[in-house]
Amino acid sequence: MTMPSTASAATTTATQPQHEIHYCIFDMDGLLINTESLYTQITSEILARYGKKYDFELKAKLMGLREKESSEILVRESGVAMTPEEYLHERHLLQLERFPHCVPLPGVMRLIKHLKDKKIPIAVATSSYRKNFELKSMNNQALFELFDVIVCGDDPAIKHGKPNPDIFFVARDRLAKHYGHDTVVNEKCLVFEDSPIGVQAGVNANMKVVWVPDENIGRLYPTLDGPSQRLESLELFDPVYFGLPPFEN
């Protein structure tokens, strides 16, 4: 898929509200916790055993996809002498060792605690399968227990993975049910993403999008159509810009 890259997203915040947001939906890997860097380390180690290199151009194509799709693309484009199933097996063994040690990224705990305190509906919508989510969250309960809804990539309600908007619609509908809301306007939902394909899914959902790319991915996409705002870190997020309650300190 060719990602749009002709327009630049805003990189600064404003002191006056520019949007009216009611729901916030967060990707997980590389946005809330540092698992994207662990994915990079693990896949690099596996490919190196076969004399192959894992670069950020290939990584950008895999980010946000469900594991079956991403493993097929990885094996095909890297030319590694293994099947997608063999790759996933080796990756899983390393994940069991390393994912329990992942930690929240800068600015995450402050933001999520703030939204929870202000009773803003919040959900995780991750392409990670439930088994991987459980592994990543096992030592991060202080973070994930704050969310009203957790939607994983292998949820049967999700018919199509990103860049299709299904996962965000499922998260939206479950937040609405959780809070007893009859209807939710998509434009009043704010998606937080770190991957270009996740940004596209949010745009396809007709939701507002904050893009927080890894610096290496950001260099590959100096401009990207769709996001309402581009930030280097969630530490820089200003809730007021989106009509959300301001931080109190």
Residue 15's pLDDT is 64
Q: pLDDT by residue (tens digit) across 148-183?
A: 999 999 999 999 999 999 999 999 999 999 999 998
Catalytic residue among 29, 148, 166, 194: 29
Read off the tokens for 222. 């100096």
Of 35, 36, 24, which Cα lies nearest the Cα of 137? 35
Read off the tokens for 111. 């933001």
Cα dist from 127 to 140, 147, 192, 230, whole Å? 18, 16, 13, 21
Is 29 assigned a catalytic role? yes
Give the strand order in the sheet containing 122-125.
149-151, 122-125, 23-26, 189-193, 208-211, 229-230
Residue 3 has pLDDT above 50, yes or no: no
125 forms bridges with which residues in the sheet? Answer: 151
d(CA 66, CA 161): 6
Match 């950020």 to its residue by tokens: 56
What is the value of pTM for the model shown? 0.86
Residue 218's pLDDT is 86
Q: pLDDT by residue (tens digit) across 116-152?
A: 999 999 999 999 999 999 999 999 999 999 999 999 9
Is 27 assigned a catalytic role? yes
Read off the tokens for 87. 């790759």
Q: pLDDT by residue (tens digit) across 60-103?
A: 899 888 889 999 999 999 999 999 999 999 999 999 999 999 99
Match 């994983």 to its residue by tokens: 152
Q: How does the average pLDDT of the chain come out, rounded?
A: 91
Q: Quickly list H helices, the chain.
A: 35-49, 56-62, 67-78, 84-98, 108-117, 130-137, 141-144, 166-179, 196-204, 215-220
Residue 13's pLDDT is 42
